[in-house]
C-alpha cells in the first residue's frame, strides 16, 4: 500500500530524481519554457514556483535558499531581478502546462510547461 507516500518516483533513485528536478527547474527558469513528459512537469512545477516565490521575497536569505536548489548564479539573478518584478501582483500559479500529445518513441504524454 502507498499510504502517505507523496510524489512520483519516476523509476529513479532519490538523488537521481532530485538532480532531474533541479536541472528541469533551472532550464525552465532560464528559457521560460521546456518540453517534457507530463509526470516530470507536474512534479517539477512546485519547485519552480517555490523558487519564484523566494525571488519575490528578495532577501539575502531567500537568495541563498534559492541558490541551494538551483546553484546557477545567472538563473538566480534573472529570477530575483526580472521574474520577481513580473509576478509581484500574482499570488501564485506562475506556470502553464499545455498538452502536446504522445511522444513518438514510447507514447509518453508530452507537455510544454512555460512561465506566464
Crossing angle of helices 38-57 and 14-31, in 10° steps, is: 60
Q: Quick check: pTM over 0.85?
A: yes
Q: Is 17 exposed, middle or buried (0-12, 13-18, 19+ CB in 10 A)?
A: middle
What is the rounded (10 degree) CA torsion for 92, 98, 102, 107? -10
Cell of 50: 517555490
Question: pLDDT (tens digit, 9 = 90+) per residue, 11-69?
Answer: 999 999 999 999 999 999 999 999 999 999 999 999 999 999 999 999 999 999 999 99
Amino acid at each position: 500500500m502507498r499510504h502517505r507516500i507523496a510524489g512520483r518516483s519516476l523509476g529513479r533513485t532519490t538523488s537521481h530524481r532530485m538532480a532531474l528536478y533541479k536541472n528541469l527547474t533551472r532550464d525552465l527558469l532560464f528559457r521560460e519554457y521546456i518540453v517534457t513528459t507530463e509526470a516530470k512537469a507536474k512534479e517539477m512545477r512546485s519547485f519552480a514556483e517555490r523558487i519564484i516565490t523566494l525571488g519575490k521575497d528578495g532577501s539575502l536569505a531567500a537568495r541563498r535558499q534559492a541558490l541551494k536548489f538551483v546553484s546557477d548564479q545567472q538563473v538566480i539573478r534573472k529570477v530575483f531581478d526580472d521574474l520577481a518584478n513580473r509576478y509581484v501582483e500574482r499570488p501564485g500559479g506562475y506556470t502553464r502546462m499545455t498538452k502536446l500529445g504522445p511522444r513518438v518513441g514510447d507514447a509518453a504524454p508530452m507537455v510544454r510547461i512555460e512561465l506566464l
